A and B are shown apart, each in its own frame.
Chain A
């Protein structure tokens, strides 16, 4: 059994697919702390742009949506994400075309489950992300999602906030998307020190007031609220602090 150890980037993963494709006894993973037994071998995958391009060209020719599926899968927090993506690519090639609608196939079920979780969390965060305005008018949103959805969110907000500067900061993964009003740059980011605008607390208070007054207190249903807005997200929501 060979472990192809990847670094988490898409290019590196596609290179691994190229290297591992003919190997019937292997696993692609980005998990660094795998338990190795006898007869196990570890290969560090070194990104090769040419190999990655060839794999992408192959799957794109068979299914135009496949690259996006894989891109979403690789943002998952599942330890199996590379394995599922690899199986999915192999299935597309074996089937010589899109397999997305083979909804009873186990690989497609796993792929759909992970993809839905990533896509679902990205959609949820489009609503639950909270920006604060700093003294220079830059919007800053710290959060801690399960899946790596920062890039997806940055694209969404860049379309909304034309010409405005913002930072979306994933404090768990220590990465951030920065938008200067025109372009998005992904960067690593540790702790941030923020000087808030003088209006920030005024609007946060109005928002809390609004949150309390739209609630119909005589019809409590906290379970429904927590189902749609899990408690782990609350620490970044002014209305829930």
Chain B
């Protein structure tokens, strides 16, 4: 049976994978089986860093063939090595799941032996869990770059989500910092999986769909010189062309010293701003060109939506009672849920500021950009609006830097449910 020491080594190595979401799949249980997937995802615990625990995140092994500069488990690092067997993983998953500690398994591994050997062992483990242990809870499997397609597609039939990490935002940085990984080695399997997803969709496959919860990826921000504009263009392409469900950003922390790496971390505000921009692209109908020029970085002072609005003051204020949903979504301070609730409520009668307050729509920022029944309560001049929002932004940033040692933390905490 698995001992506490190996569990510690293999879970500590896995924790830097940001993704912990268990959403997107509605796998049903079978008679006599254990588990199902809840489409909205479920968080099972929260650690003192504020992140949620939804899945048992563990590596099969941390004994890696590769020597990626930024990775604590790289070949040349002097760390304790350990590995577990498929049976040990299965036993642990079943027993944790039964006690309702977890929503499922997030299985990853260092590349040991060969990529194919590693991928085979991972696949064996998930097949064992599904068939032998009759486990129908959530499984997120990390793909091993450079493994055979056939192995990857086989695993995809049994898991809910798969992910290949693009690691770095450009091919050049990948060559420099992760010389054994190539852009093709990472993107090709993602595209193949996408093709399989689309095939299932077109042929209306019901039972046994490949990766019902889709694919995600992760990249390190600030270990290499790319601008936010470049990063967001890559993000947009990953969403629109490969149909990814999520792109995770992980702000670089100098845990490993190397002449090729910066000595200071990227800062968590940058990561936070990237997530905000990511949300605008996915849920608010923004195009990356509206948010950030290719060589530019996102504003530190303002969140990207505010920043866009301030540059487009001629479009505001908008009337709450008549503006279409797409326009409401662009008002700083009004979120996707708020915008939707406004469009529902106004069907039954015109809304005033008092109504909005009772509906718990936060007006602090929004009031500068809206009218209610023609009334306006914001600051008159564009300069005054900027000043008011700047004050607000400074307060937010201070909060994030002091008590919020990590803004990403708040988002990761939510990510279990998104």
Contacts and interface: CB of A to CB of B under 8 A. Distances in A.
Interface of A: 101-106, 109, 123, 126-133, 139, 141, 157, 159-164, 199, 202-207, 209-211, 213-225, 228-229, 237, 239
B38 A126 contact: yes
A104 B349 contact: yes
Contact of B4 (A139, A205, A216): A205
22 contacts: A103-B341, A103-B344, A106-B358, A127-B44, A128-B44, A129-B100, A160-B36, A164-B98, A203-B99, A206-B2, A209-B8, A214-B57, A219-B50, A220-B48, A220-B49, A220-B405, A221-B49, A221-B405, A221-B406, A225-B47, A225-B49, A228-B413
A211 B53 CA distance: 8
Given A104-B359, A127-B43, A160-B36, A219 B95 contact: no
B1 to A, nearest CB: 8
A219 B405 contact: yes
B49 A217 contact: yes
B42 A127 contact: yes
A123 B42 contact: yes
Nearest to B347: A101
Contacts of B12: 213-214
B52 interface: yes
B45 A222 contact: no
Given A209-B8, A211-B47, 11 more contacts: A103-B344, A104-B351, A104-B358, A127-B45, A129-B100, A133-B99, A160-B137, A162-B31, A210-B96, A216-B51, A220-B405
B46 A228 contact: yes
A48 B341 CA distance: 39
B49 A219 contact: yes
B48 A214 contact: no
Contacts, number: 160
Contacts of B33: 162
B349 A225 contact: no
Given A101-B344, A126-B38, A160 B49 contact: no
B46 A139 contact: no
B379 to A, nearest CB: 26
B45 A215 contact: no
Given A127-B42, A214-B47, A224-B50, A102 B7 contact: no
Nearest to A157: B100
A207 B101 contact: yes
Contacts of B344: 101, 103
A119 to B, nearest CB: 11
B359 to A, nearest CB: 6
A160 B135 CA distance: 10
Contacts of A104: 345, 348-349, 351, 355, 358-359
A77 B407 CA distance: 34
A224 B47 CA distance: 9
Contacts of A215: 15, 47-49, 51
A213 B12 CA distance: 5
Contact of B29 (A126, A160, A211): A160
A215 B49 CA distance: 6
A207 B32 CA distance: 25
A88 to B, nearest CB: 15
Nearest to A102: B348
B409 interface: yes
Contacts of B47: 211, 214-216, 225
B11 interface: yes
Interface in B64-101: 92, 95-96, 98-101
Interface string B12-39: 1011000000000000011111111010
B341 A141 contact: no
A102 B137 CA distance: 38
Contacts of A162: 29-34
Given A160-B29, A214-B15, A228 B56 contact: no
A109 B313 CA distance: 33
B315 interface: no
Contact of B46 (A105, A202, A204, A229): A229
- Residue with the highest number of chain B CB atoms closer than 10 Å, among A104, A163, A219, A237: A104
Interface in B95-112: 95-96, 98-101, 103
Nearest to B340: A103
